[in-house]
Amino acid sequence: MVIGPEDGTACVRRRFAERWSAAVAGTSYVSLKPDELTDYLAGLTDRLVDALAAPRHDPAPAHRIGVELVAAHFTGPETMRRSLTVLGEELPTLVADPLPPDLARRLGSTLGALAAGYAEALCERTLDEQEAIRRAMLAARRESEAKLATSESRLRAMFTEAAIGIGIADLEGNIQEVNPALVRMFGYPAQEFTQRNVSAMVHPDDAPSVWQLYEELVRGRRDHFRVEKRFFRADGAIIWTNLTVSLVRDADGAPAYQVAMLEDVTERQQLQATLAHLAYHDPLTGLPNRALFSTRLAEVFADPVNPRRVGLCSLDLDGFKRVNDSLGHDVGDQLLVAVAGRLAECCGPDRLLARMGGDEFVVLIDGSSGAAELVELAEEIITAMTAPIRLDGRDLSVTTSIGIVEQAVAETTAAELMSAADITLYRAKHDGKGRYAVFDRGRTDQEIARFTLSATLPAAVERGEFVVHYQPLITLADGALRGVEALVRWQHPTFGLLQPDRFIELAEETGAIVTLGRWVLAHACAQARSWRDEFGAAAPFLSVNLAPRQLEEPDLVADVTAILLDTGLQAAQLQLELTEQAVMRDEPGPLKALRALDDLGVGIAVDDFGTGYSNLSALPRLPVRGLKLDGSFVRTLRGGDATDRTDELIVSTLIDLAHGLDLTVTAEGIETADQLERLRSLGCDVGQGWLFAKAVPAEGITAMLRRHEIREDSG
């Protein structure tokens, strides 16, 4: 039998249902065989997974399932608790890709709805049960004399056997009789009850309305009331009950005595408290989560004339991803717990410290005294982080970057405060990590632009906002167009055409360069192929920049191979430019990728050569075919009779060295005829620069090639 993806999903869900079924087996009196129980829970699993993965999240189906569980008699106190544990741990793993981005929040709301539906239904059911007993009692009173005896014995049986506690008192509140369930619930003997008065059953935190309702009842102004009320047990513990008190009248309708029925809902109360805690706390660190933080922040801003000040520290661990990637998620988790502990110590109990997700934390100071207070806290945190954290027998050092913003509540909004903290954190990171930065309104415009670009870059690749321009690479000996370098530009909807210096670094920082770089490569290769189709051997080779980060991608070689296959461009027509630092890094992964690319036949050139202080003796061992001399060398080359010849000597030495290693030399940034002359006389092979042409759209190159063709044809 062939197992398709559908079957695979069904199998996984079925196995989960088996684990769920094992967890709740025997916790409720349900007459289902193990297999039937699993079938039943498998059905619920499907519905819960569907609810989690639905395009628009809606907790209602989970609520319904909670209600159904009660209807199906899954009412044992352990059933829901165990179900929540199993579901909380495993339900998210059953959701198929693409995962909804807010999966964690959805899970919280789904389980919350499930438990709420369950609790409500359970409460409903008990109320029904209480109502039935009340009616039976009233009926008993009205029964004719003849039937009195039987009905009383029926009533007595009900009284003794009932699962809920029942107590009967006179109108003065003297307790006359209690049933065994009530005795069990309170933990003291029946005699003790009968020596008590109802009024002694007060809990200090009772709402005053409870006793008002009671007064109305014994005066005959109401027939019954229902409340949730606390009592003290014999051992001093608190029990929560659903309390229904009914007035029983005599044959003439005058109040005669009162009957109280109590259901112990302590477990359910605890469950609800646990759920509320779960909904507002991060399970890993126990810290308040984003939801609680947002609620608190909203409260700060709820009063529009709040005269106080408010401060935020936004924290992000530096290099946490590396810890996770290299040491695994378990160590990453332990590290987060340790960090949370240190942060909590620094913050003390009066400041709200929350984990916003991943390695991001935030401290909220409502009623701050000024930025100095936050700076002090930030310094304390940074110092607290300096001691290494010992995990799994090894010492890990982490630092954190902190963005600080402190303002009068009246002068800002919650959203502005958050975005100011984010931007400032971003600046702290950019300034060098392990440090804090204080929000400075003056600097933000520029930073907001940077921040916006960084945040929108990945989507911009998908939206096709990038274009590639091509700059000619000219053979110096004969002035022929030998190749083109692909240079990317961002056609930004609001900022206009952006040069790479505005975004390449951002793209490297965020990792978006991988997607962007792949797009540039594919796009430029397709273009190069079409030049090849049109101009044959006269078509230029293509040189494409490769960011260091791309060289680390395990898929790089496969990507390049696929792109060459797709576009039909020959490997020999492609050159990749990498900076010295990227090429000379002494690591096996990148070097292996370079070798594989070289084996494919793709050329590798070292870009901006001469700026990287690298060890030149490493060059011969690398699969490199050319050097691109950095523009700064070319700029210092002066005319024939310039006085200082040192620069020229350096360039000349570099060219000789390269030729000695059989490498082609390209000079970047040639702007004047003098520079061209010098480089030509020094034996430089290829030139690039505004003297020949700036980077232009593909059509510009096509036009040049056509002109060239005409010249050749006619010449």
With CB under 5 A as the contact rule, the residue among 282, 607, 648, 685 that binds Mg ion is 607
User: Looking at 150-158, 274-282, 348-356, 537-545, which segment touches Mg ion (CB under 5 A)?
Assistant: 537-545
Query: Three-state DSSP class for 299?
Result: helix
Nearer to ligand C2E, 290 or 585 (CB): 585
Residue 626 CB, nearest approach to Mg ion (Å): 11
Contact status: 577 vs Mg ion (CB under 5 A): yes
593 binds, among Mg ion, ligand C2E, none (CB under 5 to 8 A by kind): none
CB of 577 to Mg ion, least distance (A): 4
**Residue 645 CB, nearest approach to Mg ion (Å):** 25
**CA atoms of 405 and 373, how far apart (whole Å):** 11
Nearer to ligand C2E, 46 or 671 (CB): 671
Q: Among Mg ion, ligand C2E, none, what does residue 112 contact (CB within 5–8 Å per kind)?
A: none
For position 580 contacting Mg ion by CB under 5 A, the verdict is: no
Q: How far is CA 338 from the centre of its chain?
A: 20
Q: In terms of CB distance, is 418 or 547 closer to ligand C2E?
A: 547
In the complex with ligand C2E, the residue whose CB is nearer, 373 or 508, is: 508
Q: Which is nearer to ligand C2E, 75 or 688 (CB)?
A: 688
**β partners of residue 311:** 365, 406
Q: Assign residue 273 a region: left if phi > 0, alpha if psi is -120 to 50, beta otherwise?
A: alpha
Sheet holding 255-264, edge to edge: 175-178, 165-170, 255-264, 238-249, 224-232
How far is 275 from 281, CA to CA, in rounded Å? 10
Show contacts of 25-33: CB within 8 Å, 24+ apart.
27/74, 27/76, 27/77, 27/78, 27/79, 27/82, 28/73, 28/74, 28/75, 28/76, 28/79, 29/73, 29/76, 30/72, 30/73, 30/74
- Single out the segment in contact with Mg ion by CB under 5 A; choices: 204-212, 304-312, 371-379, 538-546: 538-546
**β-strand pairing of 466-475 with 696-697:** antiparallel
In this structure, the number of other CB atoms found within 10 A of the CB of residue 8 comes to 11
Nearest to 243 by CA among 215, 221, 267, 214: 214
The neighbour count for residue 276, using CB atoms within 10 Å, is: 11
CB of 469 to Mg ion, least distance (A): 12
Judge contact between 125 and 263, C-beta under 8 A.
no
Phi and psi angles of residue 648, each rounded to the nearest 5 degrees, phi first: -65, -35
Contacts to Mg ion from residues 437-456, by CB under 5 A:
none
Question: Could you tell me the smallest distance in angstroms from the CB atom of residue 607 to Mg ion?
Answer: 4
Cβ-defined contacts of 270-276 (< 8 Å, 24+): 271/80, 271/81, 271/115, 271/119, 272/115, 272/119, 275/84, 275/111, 275/112, 275/115
CB of residue 288 to ligand C2E, shortest distance in Å: 41
Q: Which residues bind ligand C2E (CB under 6 A)?
A: 471, 487-488, 499-501, 504, 517, 520, 545, 547, 577, 607-608, 631, 668-671, 688-690, 695
Q: Which is nearer to ligand C2E, 179 or 688 (CB)?
A: 688
Q: How far is the CB of 578 from Mg ion (least distance, A)?
A: 9
Q: What is the dihedral sign for C-alpha 609, 614, 619, 623?
A: negative
Where would I find the beta strands (DSSP E) of 375-414? 389-391, 394-396, 400-408
Q: Which of Mg ion, ligand C2E, none lies near 688, with the C-beta cut-off 5 to 8 A by kind?
A: ligand C2E
The C-alpha atoms of residue 589 and residue 686 are separated, in whole angstroms, by 31
Nearer to ligand C2E, 310 or 484 (CB): 484
Q: Which of 545, 579, 664, 675 binds Mg ion (CB under 5 A)?
A: 545
Indicate the residue among 164 and 474 with the shorter CB distance to ligand C2E.
474
Q: Which is nearer to Mg ion, 607 or 685 (CB)?
A: 607
**What 3-state DSSP class applies to 677?**
helix
Of these partners, Mg ion, ligand C2E, none, which one is at the site of residue 211 (CB under 5 to 8 Å by kind)? none
**Binding positions for Mg ion, 667-686, rule CB under 5 A:** 668
User: Residue 151's binding partner, choosing from ligand C2E, Mg ion, none, with beta-carbon cut-off 5 to 8 A by kind?
Assistant: none
For the CB of residue 553, give the shortest distance to Mg ion in the complex, in Å.
19
- Site size toward Mg ion (CB under 5 A) is 5
> Is there a contact between 526 and 508 (Cβ–Cβ < 8 Å)?
no
Asked whether 434 and 318 are in contact (CB, 8 A), the reply is yes
Could you tell me the end-to-end alpha-carbon distance of the chain, in angstroms, rounded to an integer? 71
Nearer to Mg ion, 378 or 627 (CB): 627
Least Å distance between CB 604 and ligand C2E?
14
Rounded Cα gap, residues 59 and 114, in angstroms = 8
Q: Which of residues 64-83 bind Mg ion (CB under 5 A)?
A: none
Q: What minimum distance in Å lies between the beta carbon of 663 and ligand C2E?
A: 17
Shortest distance (Å) from residue 628 CB to Mg ion: 5
- Helix 145-161 × helix 103-142 angle, to 10°: 150
Give 385 or 670: the residue with its C-beta nearer to ligand C2E: 670
Nearer to Mg ion, 418 or 484 (CB): 484
CB of 374 to Mg ion, least distance (A): 43
Q: Return the SS3 of 264.
A: strand
Binding piece for Mg ion, criterion CB under 5 A, among 347-355, 552-560, 661-669, 700-708: 661-669
Which pair of structure tokens corresponds to residue 611? 């700026």
Q: Which of Mg ion, ligand C2E, none is residue 88 near (CB under 5 to 8 Å by kind)? A: none
Residues making contact with Mg ion (CB under 5 A)? 545, 577, 607-608, 668
